[in-house]
Amino acid sequence: MLHPTFLYVGDILGAHGLKGALIVYSHTRPASAVAGYSCWRVGESAETAKAFDVARCWQHGKRMLAEIDSITDCDSATALKGMKIWVSADDIETDDDEYLWEELIGCEVRDADALLGTVIALEEYGAQDNLLIKTATDAPQQGEWLIPFTKEIITTVDLDNNLIVIDMPEGMDACFTPSF
Cβ-in-10-Å burial (0-12, 13-18, 19+) of 88 comes to middle
Cβ-in-10-Å burial (0-12, 13-18, 19+) of 162 comes to middle
Cα–Cα distance measured from residue 44 to residue 100, given in angstroms and rounded to the nearest whole number: 21
107-161: pLDDT as tens digits: 999 998 888 999 998 888 777 888 999 998 888 889 999 999 998 999 999 988 9
SS3 state of residue 34 = helix
Looking at 3.40.50.300, 2.40.30.60, 3.90.550.10, 3.40.50.720, the CATH number of the domain 6-90 comes to 2.40.30.60
Task: For domain 101-178, give the CATH superfamily.
Answer: PRC-barrel domain (2.30.30.240)
Contact 10, 27 (CB under 8 A): yes
Contact 69, 53 (CB under 8 A): yes
Q: Could you tell me the sign of the dihedral formed by the alpha carbons of 97, 2, 103, 63, in that order?
A: positive
Tell whether pTM > 0.85.
Answer: no
SS3 state of residue 77 = helix
pLDDT-derived band at 1, boundaries 50, 70, 90: very low
Every domain of the chain and the residues it spans: 6-90, 101-178
Cα–Cα distance measured from residue 72 to residue 63, given in angstroms and rounded to the nearest whole number: 20
Q: Tell me the one-letter amino acid at 154.
A: I
Check residue 2 and give its pLDDT: 45
